[in-house]
Structure 1
Amino acid sequence: MRFYAVGLNHECASLERTEAFALDAEDQEALYANLSLSADAEIVVISTCNRTEAYLYGREADVRQVEALLGQAAGERWPSQTAFQVQDEAAVRHLLQVASGLRSVVLGERQVFAQVKTAYQRAVDAGAVHSVMHRLLHTAFRAAKRVSSETALDQGAASVSTAAVEMARQDLTPATGPNTLAETDVVLVGAGKMGQLALEALTDDSPRSLTVVNRSSDRARDVAVSYGGMTVPWARRHEAVAAADLAVVATDAPDPVLSAASLPAPDDGTTLVVDVAMPRNVAPAVDNRSAYRVYDLDDLQAWTEGVRERRAEAVPAAEAICEDLLEDFVTWVFHQQALQPAIQAIRETFDTIREQEVDRHAHRTDLDRDEVDRLTESIM
């Protein structure tokens, strides 16, 4: 039995190829249901917008089976020449670095930690994880937490969407007050991917109100419901911006969607407008209006470049933490292998007792025998 990490990500494949093999929650559940791995093999599968990977404790034949099922889900042959595969310590190191944000498109981004935890829970629910992968995934969680608390790898906003929110926090909150947008009225103009990323970055702030404006009213409603907001018709976008403290503009329009002439004076004070679109969605003349302040991509890129440089300086310390925990995990594995015969004997004894007790008490529950077996085996 060996450790494997196999998959597609932004480091080895184009976004188009990675997206072709992306798995939604239903696809992942189907994959687990169709797996027939070697005895004692364990697996966790993760699929995000930038990676579809499997972390496996098993044999080479298990890897081939996983690749075949990934190809089956995508409706095409698994691209072995493009995909990556690493083994043993390199596989463990890869997972620790993924969970810690060292392998992300945006160095140090925090979202991947939550994505790994979700993938782990889905694997646990599918019965695909046992003692070894439990230990490995919790080691990865420890690595991510230590990297976050002991280094500057995830500090500051390094993507355009998160930078938009971070710059707004600094602009709109008092220097002596809490760094939050909780007392802010926010409007999002454009409900595409970039705009939703900005809303995700705003989640912890819980702004006082959120309004979503989009050409498609159905799209605006769907996004607004997801983030606890309301909608305003596209024709009233200028009024919505004037009523807000913060406007994030992120459409795919080829020309500006906000013009200086159409913007009324803000209801109260001034409005900060953050334009994260390319080409610009906010007419340059808006910045000349005394009641409006505009940040565009030039401002955001300058901000994020400085953050990326500071994060890059934290990489050696973050990698050292991962190596430290990798060593701990490898030591644990060696001890487990040395004790495996004794552990197996104890497990078999307890499993025999488990089966006897299930037989004795099966009539006392509405669950069928297979479900009782699954539940009690998970305790083992």
Structure 2
Amino acid sequence: MRRKKIMVWVLAAGMFLMAGCSKKADKIEIVDETQTGSGEVEKVQDDFAQFREEEKWVDEIQGTYHGENAGISVKADILATESTQSMVVEVKRPALNEEYRKSVLKGAFGDADIYYHDIAHWTTEELQRELEIYESDEENNSMDPEYKKALRKYLKDSKDEYTKADVFDVDEYIASRNGIWYELSFGQEEGNLKVSFAILDTRKLKPKGLWEHASGTMIGGSSLEEGIENRCSFSAEEAKKEVVSFAEKMGIYNLTFKETQGLCFQPAYDEKNAEWEKKEFSGEVMAGYEFLLGTGINDEVLFGSKEQSFLQMAWVTEEGVVDFAIINPVEVERVTEHVPLLPLDKIKEAFLLELSENLDAHSSTKYGVFQFTSLKLDYLLQIKDSSGSEGTYLPVWVLKGDGIQIYVNAIDGTVIPEEDIR
């Protein structure tokens, strides 16, 4: 098969992957694996649905573990992600540095003053409140003793007001938007960059009428089909546009939305405000939207990291976007579509060969019998270089067992080292 390369101008947001840089990519190279030299479309086994017909993989083999015989039992449920076609997506990953932080903060807060919000810059009130929480139930509190020492240390030189940021070398910041404070934080976890934006005073997630009343609590998402009136002035589609616009200002593109729910609140009974609550907020109140979303292209979600078992979220209320988080923001370089996948028998052979010949590389613990209970096909990010700045999202089979995870490329059957998977 000869690949037919097509250079396209990507104009629609749905055609982008999340880009974690300050400038949107102008061109993405699209390669279609089904195109032949004559221009005809060749049928390939690229649909994940073919594997959903398989329910269980049962096998028993003998291997060796540090020179000793080891039993290996596979009784694995077979799962495949909801994707409808296989793709290979080559990406670049941004470095977490001062320039990147400054760019994202500027996008989120515009010209507003930005302040440090790492523990060393917390206000006196914040430090005292945190200490009070710890000391109120110290016997049952799981707070790290070193954390308590740090709170006391910073309390000695703390200030009543926030410190304006001039050098962007820490990971937590706050700024005010429409009179409400928000925190924007950066982080690295197992080599994965995370960017999180959230309202600082969670009471103000509630509808404005409930801000001053402790009785109003958030109870999470609820189906828009349940007939509850949504008091948010945005429609669901308008709220999505708010999320996309907010993300793009931070240099983050290619949001793929998988689920939309109403953001709901439940006023509890409050004797002092019983009449007010009865009149204004009786029962469950829907006043915003909760979106489940992820890194994606062509409406296919590519998860942020191997440890992430849930989609990322964004919340929209009357105040606009009040909560947003991403893992592994990336810039797309090249997309190869309709990539043929190996049949399941070949994938099983690859796993069995690895288990029988190379078990030592995957476990530091000796078991009487090594047991494996899950086999799943999903998109994962494989790092291509030592710096971690380049990677590829591709379909990968993951076999899970007793403290062991083994990764096999669904396209060519090669085993991928765990340290290369993000």
Q: Structure 1 length normalisation: TM-score?
A: 0.22
More helix by percentage: 1
Q: Structure 2 length normalisation: TM-score?
A: 0.21
Q: Which structure carries more relative contact order (alpha carbon 8 Å, separation 6+)?
A: 2
More strand by percentage: 2
